Chains A and B, each alone.
Chain A
């Protein structure tokens, strides 16, 4: 029995395989959280929402690590490897951050002496550059072929991915408000550059490479007849396009909030474009457009 999904040589089969290490990891993430929530004596606003978000994040982690997706990604097809990566970094990590209440984050940061390091990692340049450097490193043929071939290596890669996810989302979603970016434009630019633009470069390499880059997937028994080249092109597309719906939805939500914020704080000062004047009536929440004549 194997504890963590890693490369195997047997042909792909839909017969269930158990990976107890994944279950242990899930328990290790959920149990302390629930116990901590249950024992909380002070104020605990949004407890149900936090718990739901955190459990959803752990569920995404579980789906990405366990059979069948975990095994497919570790041993058979590059596209599953990319789906795993997206699940870890842009689904599980942000949900877990959103599900972590401030009091819990302060307690963890205090006990594990993580405050200083998380504050540094939450700087946008550090988070963005660090995330993308690790992205390139963990998707290099050497790293994939070496780490995926052993259970420990495969586990290490998954841990690094989760850590990368936390790092890149800290400037936006850190449970500690002082670590978060304040301005919406800065948040949107960070999100667009760190998660939208730079990852498209390695994705392009995968999509347009002349040969399969990863021997792990090239020399694996075929998954439903999918050729190694097509699989790699699919992986590139998943990496390039997979995050777009999530990232752009978040950007649209931010734009809405930004405008909402402006509307509530702008007072009734008119906005001008040439001779056109837009006035917002804060009481009736209505907008009036008029044209000035000279």
Chain B
């Protein structure tokens, strides 16, 4: 066999082996988490002032958790606009909950939060808490803890740009940094929505059976 041909075959074989052994999850277009974990159980306060358990109150849905603030000059509004656009598309699963946790509770009162989120989608859930609760929530999710970037009255916050995604089975398979394009969201949300735990799938099947048997 001619030398160039042998070298070519070796390179091709190495490429094939290299491609097949990588930890690539072709199911998702977002950033795939190396060791997916369960969604942390955190209780914050929603925009009506009631306690909100991030896990229990959103059970059975795709949870998209984002730590931002209403005076963010750039990426927060872009993420939320993208999500609002994507979730309003026909065919995109409806069991999706967007959870916006403020990292600036001093300025983002529940009213301010509600008004801000209503500008994108009235179904987006706004969450706040004491400064300590908010910091603990960020740590629990593995988010970079946000910090004020100056002492000015009109300060901006340096904060994590990732959206943390959790499937209905409670596991966080993927994350979505800024910028994430709509095509990525539209691809991944149905995949996430399809990841259900055995208990919720069985419960849904049971409900469906009951509906079918009940007289109309």
What residues make up the interface of A, taking CB atoms closer than 8 Å to B?
9-11, 211-212, 215, 218-222, 225, 227-229
List 21 A–B pairs whose Cβ atoms lie within 8 Å, in order of A's numbering: A9-B74, A10-B73, A10-B74, A11-B77, A211-B183, A211-B186, A212-B181, A215-B179, A215-B181, A218-B182, A219-B178, A219-B181, A221-B74, A221-B78, A222-B81, A227-B84, A227-B85, A228-B82, A228-B182, A229-B85, A229-B182
CA gap between A215 and B179 in the complex, in Å: 9
Given A10-B73, A11-B73, A227-B81: A218 and B181 interface contact (C-beta under 8 Å)? yes
Give the chain B neighbours of A218 by CB distance below 8 A: 82, 181-182
CA gap between A11 and B71 in the complex, in Å: 11
Q: Do residues A11 and B74 form an inter-chain contact, with CB atoms below 8 A?
A: yes
Give the chain A neighbours of B51 by CB distance below 8 A: none
Minimum-distance CB pairs A-B, first 3: A219-B179, A211-B183, A227-B85
In the complex, given contacts A212-B181, A228-B81, what are 6 additional A-B residue pairs having Cβ atoms less than 8 angstroms apart?
A211-B181, A218-B82, A222-B77, A225-B119, A227-B81, A229-B182
What residues make up the interface of B, taking CB atoms closer than 8 Å to A?
73-74, 77-78, 81-82, 84-85, 119, 178-179, 181-183, 186
Give the chain B neighbours of A227 by CB distance below 8 A: 81, 84-85
Give the chain A neighbours of B81 by CB distance below 8 A: 222, 227-228
CA gap between A9 and B161 in the complex, in Å: 14
Residue of chain B at shortest CB distance from A211: B183
Give the chain B neighbours of A219 by CB distance below 8 A: 78, 82, 178-179, 181
Q: Do residues A221 and B119 form an inter-chain contact, with CB atoms below 8 A?
A: no
User: Whole-angstrom distance from the CB of B114 to the nearest CB of chain A?
Assistant: 17
User: Whole-angstrom distance from the CB of B118 to the nearest CB of chain A?
Assistant: 12
Give the chain B neighbours of A222 by CB distance below 8 A: 77-78, 81
CA gap between A110 and B84 in the complex, in Å: 58
Give the chain B neighbours of A225 by CB distance below 8 A: 119
Give the chain B neighbours of A215 by CB distance below 8 A: 179, 181
Given A227-B85, A228-B85, A229-B85: A212 and B182 interface contact (C-beta under 8 Å)? yes
Residue of chain B at shortest CB distance from A9: B74
Give the chain A neighbours of B183 by CB distance below 8 A: 211
Residue of chain A at shortest CB distance from B119: A225
Q: Do residues A221 and B77 form an inter-chain contact, with CB atoms below 8 A?
A: yes
Residue of chain A at shortest CB distance from B179: A219
Residue of chain A at shortest CB distance from B79: A219
User: Whole-angstrom distance from the CB of A86 to the nearest CB of chain B?
Assistant: 26
Give the chain A neighbours of B119 by CB distance below 8 A: 225
The residue in A11, A215, A218 that gathers the most chain B C-beta atoms within 10 A of its C-beta is A218
CA gap between A220 and B74 in the complex, in Å: 8
Give the chain B neighbours of A211 by CB distance below 8 A: 181-183, 186
Residue of chain B at shortest CB distance from A225: B119
Residue of chain B at shortest CB distance from A11: B73
CA gap between A238 and B81 in the complex, in Å: 23
Give the chain A neighbours of B73 by CB distance below 8 A: 10-11, 221
User: Whole-angstrom distance from the CB of B91 to the nearest CB of chain A?
Assistant: 11
CA gap between A228 and B85 in the complex, in Å: 8
User: Whole-angstrom distance from the CB of B158 to the nearest CB of chain A?
Assistant: 15
CA gap between A221 and B178 in the complex, in Å: 12
User: Whole-angstrom distance from the CB of B45 to the nearest CB of chain A?
Assistant: 28
CA gap between A211 and B119 in the complex, in Å: 22
Give the chain A neighbours of B74 by CB distance below 8 A: 9-11, 221
Give the chain B neighbours of A228 by CB distance below 8 A: 81-82, 85, 182
CA gap between A228 and B183 in the complex, in Å: 12
CA gap between A11 and B73 in the complex, in Å: 6
CA gap between A219 and B80 in the complex, in Å: 11
User: Whole-angstrom distance from the CB of B179 to the nearest CB of chain A?
Assistant: 4
User: Whole-angstrom distance from the CB of A216 to the nearest CB of chain B?
Assistant: 10
The residue in A9, A11, A215, A219 that gathers the most chain B C-beta atoms within 10 A of its C-beta is A219
CA gap between A225 and B181 in the complex, in Å: 18
CA gap between A11 and B119 in the complex, in Å: 15
User: Whole-angstrom distance from the CB of B180 to the nearest CB of chain A?
Assistant: 8
User: Whole-angstrom distance from the CB of A10 to the nearest CB of chain B?
Assistant: 6
CA gap between A95 and B5 in the complex, in Å: 61
